[in-house]
Chains A and B, each alone.
Chain A
Amino acid sequence: MNLARYVISLFVILSLNFAIPRAMPGDTMTNLLGEDVILSDDLVQEIRREMGLDLPLREQYIIYWKEILRMNLGYSYHFHSPVLPLVLERMKWTLLLAAPPVIIGALLGTLLGALAGWRDSPSTRLQTFIFLTIYSTPPYFLALLSLYIFGFHLGWVPMKGFYSTGSAGNIIHHIMLPVILMSLFSASRNYMIMRGSVIQERRSLYALYARAKGLYDSQILFRHLFRNAILPIITLIALDFGFIFSGALFIEMVFSMHGMGNLIYSALMYRDYPVLQGSFLIITIMVITANMIADALYGLLDPRVRGR
């Protein structure tokens, strides 16, 4: 039943994936030849024909599905590359940039959030203040401010790109600040949710019962409360993994990094249908897979779900 639900979701999302870019004004010829080029109408029609844009939408839709089933994501006239290798190349870098923050943010946020929710003290209040400040700061602003301090003034980190020489150390040097920033954003969100969740759970009767049994604080928190409080975080982390390839847009723009976020943004501006479709296909598969994993984890952690 679950599998059928996922298959239907996939079909609907991929159909929307075809429709939405085409519903936007303009088409993939936009910005293809440059702003200051004049052409004849015949030539414009010829280029549109070559790109298959003259075909009726129904035909384009059938071709779209045929190509997806063949795993052919098409060709990008803007990036001058077949879409699949282009997306895979960008994914590689974005994965390097965005995967560590998901893991670091999950560990840091849930752990500190759980402790902050369990015990109220000056140090946890300060922690909450810091994470709340980060959480409510626009990512673009914080990225620019950090670059100004650590890149421009202190000169600790480079100002742009994934690398300059390409060595491992050089790559780490380049992505260090973006990774820290994204980790802090991810951690701050997880922290706020986990803290709230633990505050709610600690008032439950089972927590009181555990205390009455004489269990230590750490045992109550990590053996009993944690399992229940972490459920909403699992959903969010699953979504994070789903959107891992598109979520780093602001960071990529500030740090001039050619990753997936940047690719999707450019494709949107250029109305590059094949790249948009290819990228969204990957994101769709990631989101659905992550949701399937989240469902399975729910089953493991919560016997009530397992029973259904």
Chain B
Amino acid sequence: MKIMHKKIAVLVLILATTAVLQCGSADETVLRIGTQDVVKSASLLGDSNMGVFAHLSNPPLMKMNPDGTLSGQTAKSYSVSEDGMTWRFEIDDNLYWSDGTKLTPEDVKFTFEYISEKYPPAGWIKNTVDDISVDGNAVVFKLNKPYSRLNLEFTTYNILPKHVWEKIDKPTEYTNEGPMVGCGPFVINKTDLGAGVIYFKRNPYWKGREPKIDSIELHMYENADVLSMALEKGDVDAYYKYAGTYPYTGIQKLKDTGNFDFVEKDNVGLVFLGFNLNKEPMSDLQFREAMAYAINYTEILKIDALGYGSVPNRGFVPPSMAYFKETPALEYNPEKAREILDEAGYRDGNGNGIREDSGGNDMKLLLLARSKFQRVAELVKEYISAVGIDVELKVVDDATWIKLKDEYQYDLTITRTTPWGMMMHANWGTGYFDSRRTGEGVLHVLSDPEFQKLCDDILAATSDEELEKYAHSVQDYYAENLPGIALYWNKVFTPYNRKWTGWSSDPLYGIYNLENFLNVERVA
């Protein structure tokens, strides 16, 4: 009997301890974010999701504001010489690492020298920057050619403490489950992959504006439905997904609870129809024109985005990007598509319902789609078939898609751009088309010297006026040549519990920006 009592006592003790630990400190204000961007390893430079999440603890030199403009973050301010060859970043002298060491310009210099050598995505720095030097409290980058996008590039790279990272030879292989040394208002205290949580705590040496929350927890969910349940139940306070929106099908359900509001923004990324421009008939502008008229944009928007967005323009670039230019809207007109195809010589000579190409063969095109865009691809197949072209749809996983598109084993493809993807290379989506670049998500199919010169001009622009002019030229180029056709411009919804207020979002990382986490507070 005594043993039985002991067992019961131990069980009660375990349960009580669990309950106490789960409750945590009642006074602490903890903001819990639920995300599907699952970190696979606690590697700041090796795991792309971890790299984004570390923006709070190791803020990049620059930041993007909610209106899409750029300003300094770890840098207090910045300037560029008239020839665009020298960039000077004045470092905020009020920043301290979480171990008490002051952040110096040497840390910034070290970061860029270090990642250019040891972090492949930053390898371009070696080829563009001749010298990085420290001048007083500033870091000066001397370039070997003008590069107008340097300030934009610097919104992505986390600043690293030299005294920690100089000892690490292979940063992409380095993992640290915490605590990590950071200089932001919050630093990573622990990355617990078993629990699926990244814990941020306040940086005790933060001297900037005081945050209104004590700690942040990022809860990672593999399953979108479970994350939605967790949000509704109150396990997490807000939703975050890089380059993505809360599922449109769940928005009304959350609204109906009366407990949620949404940060609503125009997406910078988009879903588009790409062409293999190295092959006929895709290399024929008239064919692409016909395709542009064959697609029912309103229907795609309604079915795939539940109407949360708008029919795009021929200029591809969405209005949420800087220097957007209004170009003619894309129009669904299958009759006109047929006329254009007839005029271009793609006629159905043998009356079998399928048009023939210049060689007299039935036009049969391979539409390669990534599995997440299967529904859109099925619709596009239907539209193109309706104007007399046979389409074989091949839906594949991402790895297969990357291989097939890199080997140009497709005619048409359905894929997407991300916010950063739209801004990489010469900005405005150019990185997806320029054949001189490669990468997992890009098509690299456009070798037109006119387009490539435009890209080079943008990269070498030395003033905002020049940039604006070239940005408009790029959008005109897209509108006239249709190297890719945007299928819809959609909205990004980020739900948050009404118990919290002060949310803001930027076009690049959505709510995952430092300003947002300094402003967010619990409703009194």
Contact = CB atoms under 8 A, between A and B. Distances in A.
Interface of A: 24-27, 30-31, 33-41, 43-44, 46-47, 75, 77-81, 93, 144, 147-148, 151-152, 155, 159-170, 173, 252-258, 262, 266, 269-271
Contacts of B124: 40
Interface in B209-229: 219-223, 225-226, 229
B235 A81 contact: no
24 contacts: A25-B399, A33-B121, A34-B121, A36-B418, A38-B425, A38-B442, A39-B123, A43-B120, A47-B120, A80-B47, A80-B175, A151-B229, A152-B229, A159-B235, A162-B194, A165-B22, A170-B22, A253-B222, A255-B226, A257-B196, A258-B193, A262-B222, A269-B397, A270-B399
Given A160-B196, A258-B194, A167 B17 contact: yes
Contact of B195 (A79, A161, A269): A161
A161 B322 CA distance: 41
A159 B226 contact: yes
A39 B41 contact: no
Given A34-B48, A147-B226, A80 B194 contact: no
Best-surrounded residue of B120, B124, B424, B431 (most CB of chain A within 10 A): B120
Given A26-B403, A79-B41, A161-B195, 20 more contacts: A24-B399, A25-B399, A25-B403, A36-B418, A36-B424, A38-B431, A38-B438, A39-B123, A39-B439, A47-B120, A80-B47, A93-B194, A144-B226, A151-B229, A160-B230, A167-B18, A168-B14, A253-B223, A256-B196, A269-B397
Contacts of A47: 120
Nearest to A263: B40
B contact face: mostly helix, strand, loop, or mixed: mixed
Given A169-B14, A262-B222, A266-B40, A33 B440 contact: yes
Interface of B: 14-15, 17-18, 21-22, 38, 40-41, 43, 46-48, 120-121, 123-124, 172-175, 193-197, 219-223, 225-226, 229-230, 232-233, 235, 243, 396-400, 402-404, 417-418, 420-421, 424-425, 431, 437-442
A81 B175 contact: yes
Contacts of A33: 48, 120-121, 439-440
B226 A35 contact: no
Contacts of A43: 120, 123
A47 B47 CA distance: 16
Contact of B440 (A34, A40, A266): A34
Contacts of B47: 80
Nearest to B45: A80
A255 B195 CA distance: 11
A22 to B, nearest CB: 12
Contact of B233 (A39, A40, A155, A253): A155
Contacts of A270: 399
Contact of A26 (B195, B196, B235, B402): B402
Nearest to B415: A35
A40 B120 CA distance: 10
Nearest to B124: A40
Contact of A39 (B121, B193, B221): B121
Contact of A31 (B120, B222, B440): B440
A170 B222 CA distance: 20
Nearest to A271: B399
A44 B48 CA distance: 17
A25 B437 contact: no
A35 B123 CA distance: 16
Contacts of A93: 194
A161 B399 contact: no
